[in-house]
Amino acid sequence: MTNSLDRALRERALRVVPGGMWGHMHAKDLPEGYPQFFARAEGARLWDVDGNEYLDFMCSWGPVILGHHHGEVDAAALAQLQKGDAMNGPAQAMVELAELMVELIPHADWAQFEKNGTDATTTAVTIARAGTGKRKILVAQGAYHGAVPWCSPSLVGVTSEDRAHILTYTYNDVDSLNAAVEAAGGDLAGIIASAFRHDYGQDQELPTVAFAQAARAAADAAGAALIVDDVRAGFRLDLGGSWERVGVRPDLSAWSKSIANGYALSAVTGNDRFRAATQSIFTTGSFWCGAVSMAAAVATLTILRRDNAIAHMEAMGTALREGLAALSASYAIPLRQTGPVQMPMVLFEDDADRRKGFAFCAAALKAGVYFHPQHNMFLSAAHTGADIARALEAAELGFRAVRALAPVAA
Amino acid sequence: MTNSLDRALRERALRVVPGGMWGHMHAKDLPEGYPQFFARAEGARLWDVDGNEYLDFMCSWGPVILGHHHGEVDAAALAQLQKGDAMNGPAQAMVELAELMVELIPHADWAQFEKNGTDATTTAVTIARAGTGKRKILVAQGAYHGAVPWCSPSLVGVTSEDRAHILTYTYNDVDSLNAAVEAAGGDLAGIIASAFRHDYGQDQELPTVAFAQAARAAADAAGAALIVDDVRAGFRLDLGGSWERVGVRPDLSAWSKSIANGYALSAVTGNDRFRAATQSIFTTGSFWCGAVSMAAAVATLTILRRDNAIAHMEAMGTALREGLAALSASYAIPLRQTGPVQMPMVLFEDDADRRKGFAFCAAALKAGVYFHPQHNMFLSAAHTGADIARALEAAELGFRAVRALAPVAA
């Protein structure tokens, strides 16, 4: 494994990009040896600029759901690109995509499109305020809904007024939710909740039925909007929206990431109660009508349904989880595996400093498997049983590396 | 000219998209007859879904600067797409693009990338606050800097706290700028100004040297950031930034639109004074490292420089402006043509209700030329002398339509 080209690019980047990189893809948050720059991707594999090949369990942090360069999606995108992408208005693909989402998503009477997941969550919050004439938004403590001042995980450059109307609750804690509703008084515009609890570096939690129902009831009682942030999980758990699994339908949902298998797109869907409010706000972007990403999304969602891809990802995710659990038992190194199997979070017990997780991932990376030590990972429809077997071989090297760690001085 | 397919799509859209469309590309703001949906684009031409062909003076509202489907840009984008777009980190193209922007833009010591113009302006404001530890941002009254609560032209769904630290001044009015600086007291984080005044439906104004110098001096005196919003105008006036024309360099600039000839991308550039602040904030997006748009941007900027494309757009814009002025004189129908010739704003005198502008544009559209009645238009490098001649023939039909308007009852 060499990394000389990656190192050279990092040095060049340091001169012309602050810190050499920014945001969630900055390799500084990853173990030594992880590449920063990538050259190529195909199916469940990607290659860094030095030519090292990896079996990919991040899927571009979510967007790639059918595998990198899915032939049918790329063909649909290229066919649209031959015609037009950014034009003076949308193409027919916009209508087709909105119709398909309304068909697939039970709560959706309509859809509207943007570029970033943050665009979708911010638009949903604005719609909730416009539709209710109220201001308070309830957000789960520690949840990630984007990287702009109202929701950024960092307060640097953010003013207190940016969060003046944000109140927090604890995910899956009905009492804390109800306390936040009470704190909002008569000014509750909306409750936003992630598809499930997938906070950085934390054990994941699926929503309980009681929590989801309480959120629905609280929104209904106040005339507020229930918003599910399905940006990260959308289309991996249920094509109709992740909360279909708990039988609760939101008023508004935010989508992005996997909607177009890596082409840049996001969406808000909503019910008729918020149709007029959506029409009343102003939101737009230079590239939001780009037809290529919409054609790619139509193809992606169509293939996900046709191929029953979620069942495949669940089967592969289950095989990975069971294999890791067996290795964990045989090495007597306890793991916590949480959340849906197709979005695995793998954390080591007694590993607050991530020493074990980093050693595990660094060893697996050397064996050609790209895991993440503290963010949830992603399966795609391109992962095969043979891939999972190979991942488990690499994981075994990871467990050996953890076993070999020097004990921490007490 | 038929529009049956466009009408059918509008009806379908009305069911599944609130209002059938949203934002700046909603055809409701255009004269009768303008299509909502487009099928194809090539060079300086585009076709609606009914097959009607138009000579295009909107260039997708700015992004298309070399002409739709520029062969070299598309080849660079496709070559990158064959390798990879959304991966687990950026490709080499990110470094190449940052290096190229630092080379082209005198004030830029670094660059960072996003998707929307609004991402770039919002990031610039956040950097200004992070770098100064102060909060107030001065914005020109009526200027468009994006479509999120701190800057949206609409207040629907926006709270007063979203603008708690926004103070306004009048573009090109040094006294009003200094009054706003004084109002900010010791809390001035930044002054943001558009490349030139290009407010919707208003005469455009290039920045005066006195205004630009006053903004620079005020920012320097307060230790605040001078931010130029070059999202709309960037790379059409000067490859080094639009304020190079007045000899004033900002600390931070926001770019988007034409940076990649229609591929979705935006950027912030800045000087070393704000490098550490940029590194200190958290901003990110799922698709911000997409390599295809970065490869397209490298190609676009390289070609703009190689072909001296700005001079060509200026020549074509001058021919259009002079031709329209001659027609205006010969029909004795006064026009106001303002701003840089390659971004023409054409308004009729005594036309507050846009009756003349709409009649003019509707007639030109029928003759196959796509003008805009109240937003600035855009030339691209694909416009030829023959195109301008054809546009002027259509414009003559427009003047006849204005002349034929029934007088308004007094």
Are both A182 and A209 inside the same structural domain?
yes
User: What mean pLDDT comes out for the span A164-175?
Assistant: 98
> Are B34 and B78 within one domain?
no
Among B40, B63, B66, smallest CA distance to B51 is for: B40
Q: Are residues B127 and B257 in the same domain?
A: yes
Domain CATH for A264: 3.40.640.10
- Assembly ipTM: 0.97
- The residue type of B273 is R
Q: How confident is the model at residue A407 (pLDDT cuts 50, 70, 90)?
A: confident
Contact A92 B9 (CB under 8 A): yes
pLDDT of residue A53: 98
pLDDT at B407: 80
Q: What is the mean pLDDT of chain B?
A: 97
pLDDT at A409 over 70: no
Query: Once rounded to an integer, what is the mean pLDDT over residues B140-166?
Result: 97
Average pLDDT over residues B90-114: 98
B134 within domain boundaries: yes
Q: Following DSSP, what letter does each residue of A243-271 receive, concatenated?
A: GGGGT---SEEEE-GGGGTTSS-EEEEE-
pLDDT of residue B409: 59
> Has residue B409 been placed in a domain?
no
- Domain-embedded: residue B91: yes
pLDDT at B5: 98
Question: Is residue B297 in a domain?
Answer: yes
Q: pLDDT digits over B114-124, tens only?
A: 999 999 999 99
Q: Could you report the per-residue pLDDT of A341-360, keeping only the tens digit for each?
A: 999 999 999 999 999 999 99
Same domain, A316 and A285: no
Rounded to whole angstroms, how far apart are CA atoms B327 and B111?
A: 44
Identify whether residues A150 and A225 lie together within a single domain.
yes
Q: A258-286, pLDDT tens digit by residue?
A: 999 999 999 999 999 999 999 999 999 99
Per residue in B2-27, is it b (16+ CB within 10 Å) or e — as a string?
ebebbeebbebbeebbbbbbbbbbeb
Q: Is B63 on the interface with A (CB under 8 A)?
A: yes
Closest by Cα among B86, B91, B188, B241 to A265: B86
Give the count of Cβ contacts less than 8 A between chain A and B: 334
Q: Any CB–CB contact under 8 A between A407 and chain B? A: no
* Boundary of a domain, candidates A246, A272, A306: A306
Residue A409 domain-assigned (yes or no)? no
Question: Given A251, A274, A306, which residue is the final one in a domain?
Answer: A306
Which residue, B306, B326, B361, sits at the end of a domain? B306
| pLDDT tens per residue, range B241-268 | 999 999 999 999 999 999 999 999 999 9
Same domain, B265 and B190: yes
Residues of B in contact with A46 (CB under 8 A): 84, 87-88
**Average confidence (pLDDT) over A2-10:** 97
Mutate to test the interface with A, among B284, B292, B380 (most CBs of A within 10 A): B284
Q: Which pLDDT value is given to residue B1? A: 78
Average pLDDT over residues A91-112: 98
Domain count across chain A? 2
Does the distance separating the beta carbons of B83 and A39 come in below 8 Å? yes
- A235 has a chain B CB within 8 A of its CB: no
Confidence category of residue A410, pLDDT binned at 50, 70, 90: low
Per-residue pLDDT at B235 exceeds 90: yes
Q: State the Cα–Cα distance between residues B113 and B294, nearest whole angstrom.
A: 9
Contact B165 A147 (CB under 8 A): no
Mean pLDDT on B274-298 = 98
Q: Are residues A40 and A83 in the same domain?
A: no
Mark whether A41 and A126 lie in a shared domain.
no
Same domain as A331, residue A250: no
Mean pLDDT of A303-322: 98
Among B114, B76, B74, B86, CA closest to B98: B114
**Is there a domain that residue B246 lies in?**
yes
**Is residue A281 within 8 angstroms of chain B, CB to CB?**
yes
Q: Are A301 and A313 part of one and the same domain?
A: no
Give a yes or no: residue A408 inside a domain: no
pLDDT reading at A139 higher than 90: yes
Residue B408: inside a domain: no
Range of the domain at B25: 4-61+308-403
